Amino acid sequence: MADDAKESGKPTYSAPALTKGLDVLELLAEARAPLTMKEIAEGLGRSKNEIFRMLIALQERQYIERNAETDAYSLTDKLFKLGLHTPSAQDLMSAAMPELTRIAGDSNQSPHLVVFNHGLTVVTAAVPGGEDMAFTLRLGYGRLATDATSGHVILAFQPPKVATRMIDECAAHSPAPLDREALEKQLRTIRADGYWMRESRDFVGITDICCPVIGPDGSAVASIIVAYINRHTRESRHAFTLEVLRAACDRISMKLSPRVR
């Protein structure tokens, strides 16, 4: 590596402590479960003494957290929150927020902006809808993308190689093996339809209605899901809400990539 750098004429710089810290973060990000100090050391091929101070520093800066009962370490959401301040994430938020408000007003339901993060879906924005009550997920809420309607929609609108990599990330978090054949069949159906509408797997009386937000490269950068509350006293307007949602997602996509749409 150093010889290659010398031959290319480019200077090289070494930052062992930074490299060690990044190795810890990457290992925890790929782990299926929290890891103890011993497991982290073994995973990195280092001794516990070599990583002890780094774990303390990362914990103090709130990049990782330690379970007091198991002494196992896991990532916090700090890196994800930092990522929300990047220009591309800010562009998405600024384009989406007015449309979320419009969806809530037109449908009287609560829309949620969801992104994919290391195999999980994460709610990054939401607007309460409804005249007397609203169903709203908390910001930062996440779950396995292959178990979530919003995650399926994001996965459905990816190039094949990217989708495979993202599904691999989901598999790393899944407590059971994924049925990839069934999943890929469902993703093809969602892509052909352009949306997914189904009864909630978690809540009785809730219908998930979800559409993709397409970025400049033609793949989904996010999805917007409406958790539609079905009520005995009112007729459900699923088709109307889907129409409102699709139009809003199209407008967001146009704002994100005006030159290619």
Q: Where are the domains of the chain?
A: 2-76, 82-256
79: number of Cβ within 10 Å: 14
**Residue 84, φ and ψ in degrees, nearest 5:** -70, -10
**214 by DSSP, 3-state: which?**
strand
Where does the pLDDT of residue 112 fall: very low under 50, low under 70, confident under 90, or very high at 90 and above? very high
Residue 132, pLDDT score: 67
Identify which of 113, 133, 116 has the alpha carbon closest to the alpha carbon of residue 124: 113
pLDDT band at 210 (very low <50, low <70, confident <90, very high): very high
Q: Give the fold, CATH level 3, of 2-76.
A: Arc Repressor Mutant, subunit A (1.10.10)
Q: Provide mean pLDDT across the span 84-107.
A: 86
pLDDT score, position 153: 98
Question: Among all chains, which residue has been given the structure tokens 């397409």?
Answer: 214
Q: What is the mean pLDDT of residues 165-183?
A: 91
Give the per-residue pLDDT at 1: 46
**What's the confidence (pLDDT) of residue 10?**
60
| Token pair for 105 | 């007003």
Burial of 59 (0-12, 13-18, 19+ CB in 10 A): middle
pLDDT value at position 77? Answer: 77
Q: What is the pLDDT of residue 260?
A: 41
235-256 mean pLDDT: 93
Q: What is the pLDDT of residue 204?
A: 78
Cα-flanking dihedrals φ and ψ of residue 132, to 5°? -125, -15
Given this model, what pLDDT does residue 250 score? 96
Q: How many residues does the chain have?
A: 261
Q: Is the pLDDT of residue 60 over 60?
A: yes
Q: Residue 184: its pLDDT value, please?
A: 96
Q: Do domains 2-76 and 82-256 have the same CATH topology?
A: no
- Give the architecture-level CATH label for domain 82-256: 2-Layer Sandwich (3.30)
Residue 228 has pLDDT above 80, yes or no: yes
> Torsions phi, psi of 122, nearest 5?
-135, 125
Compute CA 180 distance to the chain's CA centroid, rounded to the nearest angstrom: 19
CA separation, residue 7 to residues 3, 4, 12, 48 (Å): 6, 5, 11, 36
Strand-pair partners of 211: 224
Weakest-pLDDT range from 94-103, 131-140, 209-218? 131-140
Token pair for 252: 């967001």
With 80 as the cut, is the pLDDT of residue 176 above it?
yes
| Rounded (10°) angle between helices 160-173 and 149-156 | 150
User: How far is C-alpha 171 from the geometric centre of its chain's CA atoms?
Assistant: 14
Give me the sign of the Cα torsion angle 108, 112, 113, 116.
negative
| Residue 208 reports pLDDT greater than 90 | yes
Would you say the pTM of this structure is higher than 0.75? Answer: no
- The pLDDT, as a whole number, for residue 93 is 86
User: What pLDDT, on a 0 to 100 scale, did the predictor assign at position 261?
Assistant: 40
Dihedral sign of CA atoms 82, 88, 94, 95 in order: negative
Q: Residue 148: is its pLDDT beyond 50?
A: yes
